[in-house]
Amino acid sequence: MSAIEITFMLGKILAFFGIVVALAALSTLAERKVSAWIQLRYGPNRVGPFGILQPLADGLKFIFKEEVVPDGANKLLFRLAPAMVATPALLAVSVIPFSFPVMIDGVSHAMSIIDVPIALLIILALGSLQVYGILFGGWASNNKYSLLGGLRSSAQMVSYELTLILSILVVMMLSGTMNLTDMFYDQETGQVLLWTIFKFPVGTIAFGLFLIAAFAETNRHPFDLAEAETELVGGFHTEYSSMKFALFFIGEYAAMVTMSCLLVILFLGGPTLFGLLVGIENTWVRALLGMGVFLAKLCSFLFLFIWVRWTIPRYRWDQLMHLGWKVLLPISLVNIVLAGVWVIYIAPTWGG
């Protein structure tokens, strides 16, 4: 490894983790701002211009709050649980390519921290680890509302993971790869692939399924039954305070950012913009412009997550299970068959 490669690697680690943590912090602010805008209020606007420093103020407040461990709580798991939510969510960032690959000394380097062929599977595996934090946190709190929240969350994640994986399978069939960089950009021919969402109807259906499952996997409205405050006080994090509570939040928002990244890469062509950026010769300029496009798409999905939360009412528990098992699962199974038809009969005539 040459010095420039090591610098590049360190730069990538700092930049990408920085981006995700900053986006997670800013989306807590955006959450309040957008909700205020939807409900005709002002939202936080006292700390810094337009309240932009509010996340920092919140963070400081969290650090200075007292940590309460309830009586009869299971101390070990109670303390571990917040970290078990935040760690996998942040780890998943390491395999996400934020832009086109760049050339260093004639060798192509992917714009993800580690470039592995099974990046998609790694993200799925880390996503399935996140449920433990919620489950253990709910159980260790020694509170019936927390326990119910954890239980609901586990059932919900197991059910919707199916739909999530099956819709990703369709994307894998359409693009013929599991490497996330290859999903939007064929490295061998240098060709930009068509966005999956435009591969009607297969890609479009898969996009819809993935979007719904992503809401359920990240425990976001309208599927946030794990913390439904009208029924369960606060769900799995009822007993948490101070930085432990903040870690749960960081985990939730980081998971939201990762899911949005996946949506952008799998369905909206990642950093590509209708082939406009391909003509640029300098790979660094192209990578930077591509990253801009990627972040713009990413932010629009984050906005969608927040927008949905403040406009759609929460699902009831049985409706959630009904939707997951009796509606989404059959559709995704049929969609896989359709994807097979697409790959064999339609794709050759479309040129990929």
Partner 1 sequence: MDTLTLMFLLIATITIAGSLITLWSKYVVHSVFGLMLALLGVAGFYVLLGADFLAVTQIVVYVGGVLVLYLFGIMLTPPDRAERNVKLIVFCSLPAVAGAMYLIGSARAMEGKWLPGKELPPPPGKHLIHQVGHSFLDKDQYLLAFELASVLLLVVLVGAVYIARRRWEASE
Give φ, ψ of 45 to 5 degrees. Answer: -145, 20
Decide if residue 333 touches partner 1 (CB under 8 A): no
Question: One symbol per residue from 48 to 87: x for binding partner 1 (CB under 8 A), - otherwise; what is it?
Answer: --------------------------x-xx----------
H or E segment and range at residue 257? helix 242-267
- The CB-of-129 to partner 1 minimum distance in angstroms stands at 6
Structure token digits, residue 201: 């109807």
CA angle 95, 217, 314 (to 5 degrees): 150
Minimum CB–partner distance for residue 283 and partner 1 (Å)? 21
C-alpha distances (whole Å) from 109 to each of 3, 58, 191 are 14, 38, 17
- 157 touches partner 1 (CB under 8 A): yes
Of 21, 151, 197, 329, which one interacts with partner 1 (CB under 8 A)? Answer: 151
Instruction: For the CB of residue 236, give the shortest distance to partner 1 in the complex, in Å.
Output: 12
Which residues fall within 8 angstroms of residue 47, CB to CB, at 6 or more apart?
A: 53, 54, 56, 57
Q: Is 132 in the site for partner 1 (CB under 8 A)?
A: yes
Between 140 and 291, name the residue whose CB sits nearer to partner 1.
140
75 close to 268: Cβ distance less than 8 angstroms: no
d(CA 30, CA 309): 12
Radius of gyration of the chain (CA): 21
Binding piece for partner 1, criterion CB under 8 A, among 117-125, 207-215, 292-300, 328-336: 117-125
Q: Work out whether 114 is an interface residue with partner 1 (CB under 8 A).
A: no
Nearer to partner 1, 34 or 213 (CB): 213
Q: Does 178 bind partner 1 (CB under 8 A)?
A: yes
What residues between 237 and 266 interact with partner 1 by CB under 8 A? Answer: none
